[in-house]
Amino acid sequence: AQSVTQPDIHITVSEGASLELRCNYSYGATPYLFWYVQSPGQGLQLLLKYFSGDTLVQGIKGFEAEFKRSQSSFNLRKPSVHWSDAAEYFCAVGRGDYKLSFGAGTTVTVRA
Amino acid sequence: DAGVTQSPTHLIKTRGQQVTLRCSPKSGHDTVSWYQQALGQGPQFIFQYYEEEERQRGNFPDRFSGHQFPNYSSELNVNALLLGDSALYLCASSLSRSETQYFGPGTRLLVL
């Protein structure tokens, strides 16, 4: 069975500072990898995805993520956060069977 | 271009009752998946419908059932509601052979 781990439950970052959110997965082959963002009371918005090819992928809102096969990781980064980036972030994994497995999420708080 | 829509936005039911939630997929999408997101957790896959049939199912009891209509819209039905069914129910749509899923805003169900 595959699982997704987001080690950080909550991260607080200052506006303008950089942000990195961690995601580790357990799966034998290379999975399909996603990052979603959820604002309070809202659904999930797709930030970016990785299927194959270049291991550094760019997404919306200035986010990027890097796939590292050797570490089974897919960490999300943003060089300079804005107050509007305060939200919950979910890493998700698919293995080609059309269903996604999600991590427990990381809540990001942005302080002025 | 309309995204994924869900109705109702909020719902309150009592234990033992039955509930039906509705979802219209993103324009051009033919596949609908349903997820349950309990408070403070990541979404959990319930099932997926394609060509009006259940294609994949997660670890949910038979009390959870669904339907897909010829126009690709979908319903999620939950019978004999339990307090533990209180959650945000998310619908996601995709193309039949794509792993990328786009989520709606969700229906928040409270079971008293």
Q: A94 contacts in B (CB within 8 Å)?
A: 99
The partner residue sitting opposite A43, judged by closest CB among B42, B99, B105, is B105
Residues 6+ apart with CB under 8 A from A1: none
The partner residue sitting opposite A46, judged by closest CB among B31, B48, B102, is B102
* B98 has a pLDDT exceeding 90: no
Task: For B29-75, write each residue's pLDDT tens digit.
Answer: 999 999 999 999 999 999 999 999 999 999 999 999 999 999 999 99
Helix (H, G, I), strand (E, B), or coil: what is residue A70?
A: helix
pLDDT given for residue B46 in this prediction? 97
Q: Does B101 touch chain A (CB under 8 A)?
A: yes
d(CA B3, CA A36): 16
pLDDT given for residue B31 in this prediction? 96
d(CA B96, CA B50): 7
Interface-testing mutation among B101, B107, B108, B110, with chain A (most A C-beta atoms within 10 A): B101
* A1 has a pLDDT exceeding 60: no
Q: Does B60 touch chain A (CB under 8 A)?
A: no
